[in-house]
Chains A and B, each alone.
Chain A
Amino acid sequence: MNDQTPSSFFSRKATWQAAVGLFTALIAFGGGQIQAATPAGSLVVGKSSDPQNLDPAFTMDNNDWTVSYPSYQRLIRYKVEKGKGSTNVEGDLAASWKASKDSLSWEFKLRSGQKFDDGAPVDAAAVQFTFERLMRIKQGPSEPFPSDLKVTAVDPMTVRFTMAKVCPYFLYALANDGGSIVNPAVMKLAQGNDDAKGYLASHTAGSGAFKLTSWQKGQSLVLDRNPYFGGKKPALDRMVVKIVGEASSRRLQLESGDLDVVETLPVDQMAEVAKKPDLTVAENPSLLVTYLYLNNKKAPLNNPEVRQAISWAVDYNGIIKSIMKGQAKQMRGAIPEGMWGFDPGVMQYSTDLAKAKALLQKNHITNLNLSFLYSNRDPNWEPIALSTQAQLAQVGINVKLESMANATMRERISKADYDISIGNWSPDFADPFQFTNLWFDTENHGLAGNRSFYANAEVDRLVREAASISDQAQRTRLYQQAQKIVVNEAAYVFLFQRNSQVAMRKAVNGLVFNPMLEQIFNVDTIVKK
């Protein structure tokens, strides 16, 4: 036992002196330029995770497109109409184009004076190289283009695409990240037969307004202005993408002035940010929808009236108000508002428990047990599952919640091994094809899109016909006709389309949101005051 130990080894005075000394040293050492605002010519964007692969022929991830999209140009781009992003398109590298009468051949005249970031001209050979490489690599971004696509450089400034089957959304697909025109000089940096995949995974080689100049993995990416850019000179000199995984840290850095723009903050944090005098939150309706899959293959969900009962039982307003904090709008059919082909007249389910009960009674269904599959991929899914469970309990359906890893959930969905599940969906290109052919056609059963395993021969016929012609008015008619049947048969539960929210400093002006370009910033036209 050590009862005889001295009561104080260090004197009290010495302890205090040490503490004050340490604190002073900390201030002297740590003080200074920590809370300096970002430089005037730089836009500093805070993102939650590091990009993975920047090769336009490889990546299908919007998180990568934040960097790749402004580094490249495409033949076609989305229009900005009255300061707002639209799903209509115009020429970017293409000065003009014309399609043959049968829409099987498209000829593009290139704009002159466009240059890659090494000063080389963007010509027809570069376009041919890009698409041949894309189709050779054959990853996700090649999917929208016909597999037999042929590209010919007619002359240095004219390029021709030919295909055997009509691809009605061809023009829109060209505006997608996968249509980014790559400098053929990258082949000098190819390793073996890798088609420069290794190099382009972490570098850019385009003619966009900016080019990637450094990438500190997991920390930050710097894009500097491309001195050879053929368009109007951007006001910004630099875009810095800073990776800050934790949402609260991102918010704090925005408030402290270390970040100019922040994406993907939780809805409640966005509300707090909006209250700060020097910050603002840009809110825009997006084309990102959340909906429930009902397994149409499995009894009793193969009965449309049972699916209708579920659709009438869901608490749409409650989900939007309490879970989405009002930052969403109930879907009306499959094609979201803002996408051409949207039908404001199509029937919309509301919450009507009496109707739901009546439908179940009519089919003599009592004590029905169903499972609801979800993952933690989206933090809103669990509360939505809980809300659905509570609502369905009121009409006599017992829902068992099954939470699992996202990869496992997808595997189960692909095998139709579920009753109810949930998903988010956003279009790859601005065409209702993405919400109709993929969701309704029996050809796309499974993860490809028809995740409810819905089957209706008439609907198949309508959407296939719509995908085989290029007349937009006629396609709209066919899609709306198909959609009416699907909504009536309640193939899915159409929940809501979200608002996109971006928090930023008020000094950032001219940010244009385009629902087709989630997580992509128009750094070529943004101004910082």
Chain B
Amino acid sequence: MPYLRIIVKRLALLLLVVLGVSIITFVVSHLIPGDPARLIAGDRASDEIVLHIRRSLGLDQPWPVQYWRYVQGLCHGDLGTSIRTSRPVLEDLKAFFPATMELALVALILATLLGIPLGILSAVYRNKWVDQVVRTLSVTGISTPAFWLGLLLIILFYGKLALLPGSGRLPEGLDPPTRITGFYLLDSLFTGNRAVLVESVKHIILPGFTLGFVHLGVVARQIRSAMLEQLGEDYVRTARANGLPRWGVVFRHALPNALIPSVTVLGLALGDLLYGAVLTETVFAWPGMGSYVVNSIQALDFPAVMGFAVVVSFAYVILNLVVDLLYLVIDPRITEAG
């Protein structure tokens, strides 16, 4: 049962990762000079008020005590209370995490749906104009700053053409769909809310494309090089010599083999997208975790920062697990090996 063994092993590892991440974030956030209590109280508050706040937040306790309390809460699914917003961190993350995740997934889907065909075309037409265009596009994608591309797209599609909205997840006056997953696209689909679905799609196109564009380049390049390798193999030549149609060989034989290393790239890309969404979220006023975390860092709100780190590392490990399981599905030889 290789699947089960991998799942159990990874879940055990997950505990260690979460513990490690929480310790590192705790220590780093406590090493930064600055006093969250003073930030809340305002500069002009007396020492007495600052002390009162410090005590009410438990900041007057020694570090190990503070950390132990945090871990105790964590075991009960409690990520603590945000110093900045006075709300449970879990509640804040519940509000912001699905927005980021939805954006990252749409970006990944766009990058995959566009990147794979472009990579195939580029490999098949190697050194032809198609290849040159795709390679230029890939390099442009990798080297274009997201905030710059985002602004350009907003100016063009919102400012000039008035085709797509420039910010947010939904227009004013339209209530979000009933919450099932927190993803507006899915929730509106599940609840049959057509108006919200249409608006959600309109709102996610530009930020999704902006965020996905960088990874589109990465995916296209990855697929191109993997395809080139496969197309140069003997089995491809043999298949062609036996009279199989060219595109049949490309799609039925070369592509499945070229996709194996790409699964890793895509899995890691989603992790990058989660972390990298901050700039895109800022430009498109996307209410995700990006601005929440940046504001929390500035306010020395360590429960919020730790909550973010724990949740994202959790998601990261789970994604890696999914990638590994996908490997087993795509290439059974890996199962036999290990």
Contact = CB atoms under 8 A, between A and B. Distances in A.
B181 to A, nearest CB: 17
Interface residues of B, number: 71
Nearest to A201: B86
Given A35-B162, A52-B84, A143-B45, A407 B32 contact: yes
Interface string B286-328: 0110011001001110000000000000000000000000000
Interface string A391-417: 000000000000001111011101000
A147 interface: yes
A49 B299 CA distance: 13
B46 interface: yes
A7 B130 CA distance: 10
A428 B44 contact: yes
A412 B33 CA distance: 8
A5 interface: yes
B168 A5 contact: no
B38 interface: yes
B87 A202 contact: yes
A94 to B, nearest CB: 25
Interface stretch (A95-103, A238-246, A263-271, A316-324): A238-246
Contacts of B168: 219-220, 242
Given A139-B41, A245-B285, A253 B167 contact: yes
Interface in B215-268: 228, 231-232, 246-247
Interface in A1-26: 1-2, 5-7, 9, 26
A261 interface: no
Contact of A255 (B53, B159, B295): B159
B298 A9 contact: no
B23 interface: no
Contact of B172 (A1, A2, A44): A44
Given A406-B298, A448-B43, A9 B162 contact: no
A199 to B, nearest CB: 10
Nearest to B292: A218
Contact of A198 (B42, B86, B125, B284): B86
Interface residues of A, number: 64
B285 A243 contact: yes
B46 A448 contact: yes
Interface stretch (A53-61, A81-89, A352-360, A460-468): A53-61
B164 interface: yes
A34 B165 contact: yes
A216 interface: yes
A217 interface: yes
Interface string A51-80: 011010010100000000000000000000
B295 A220 contact: no
11 contacts: A52-B84, A142-B49, A143-B49, A220-B168, A243-B287, A249-B151, A249-B166, A407-B298, A410-B34, A411-B35, A449-B44
Interface of B: 32-35, 38-46, 48-49, 52-53, 84-87, 92, 95-96, 99, 121, 123-126, 128, 147, 151, 154-155, 157-159, 162-170, 172, 176, 198, 201-202, 205, 228, 231-232, 246-247, 281-285, 287-288, 291-292, 295, 298-300
Nearest 5 Cβ contacts at the A-B interface: A218-B287, A407-B34, A60-B42, A411-B33, A140-B42
Interface of A: 1-2, 5-7, 9, 26-27, 29-31, 34-35, 38, 44, 49-50, 52-53, 55, 58, 60, 138-140, 142-143, 147, 197-198, 201-202, 216-220, 240, 242-246, 248-249, 252-253, 255-256, 258, 405-408, 410-412, 414, 428, 434, 438, 447-449
